[in-house]
């Protein structure tokens, strides 16, 4: 059994012909909370089309299922953006 929580994802379209939604041009040693993710100078927000999560029942660790944003989200938490930090 493989330890840890593993995700795979498919990059999406940010609507501008790329997967880059925003580039951060910040001062040294500063950060910005953008849609729930921290970004530092020079980093970019990448749009994720879909997340795949490893299925615990498969001991080989080779089976994944798509994460359902509505069904699998925590109702007590605010909605999350499908973004990752470059």
**Domain boundaries defined on the chain:** 7-85
Q: What are 37-80's pLDDT values in tens digits?
A: 899 999 999 999 888 888 888 888 788 888 777 777 777 877 66
Is the distance from CB of 82 to CB of 66 less than 8 angstroms? no
Is the distance from CB of 48 to CB of 10 less than 8 angstroms? yes
Q: Is the pLDDT of residue 17 over 80?
A: yes
CA 48, distance to chain mean position in Å, is 6
Q: Among 66, 63, 35, which Cα is nearest to 50's?
A: 66
Cα distance between residue 22 and residue 31, in whole Å: 14
pTM: 0.70
């Amino acid at each position: 059994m493989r330890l840890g929580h593993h995700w795979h994802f498919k990059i999406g379209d940010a609507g501008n012909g790329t997967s880059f939604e925003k580039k951060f041009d910040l001062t040294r040693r500063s950060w910005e909370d953008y849609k729930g993710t921290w970004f530092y100078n020079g980093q970019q927000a990448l749009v994720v089309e879909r997340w795949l999560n490893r299925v615990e029942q498969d001991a080989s660790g080779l089976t994944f299922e798509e994460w359902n944003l509505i069904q699998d989200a925590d109702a007590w938490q605010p909605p999350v953006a499908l973004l990752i930090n470059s």
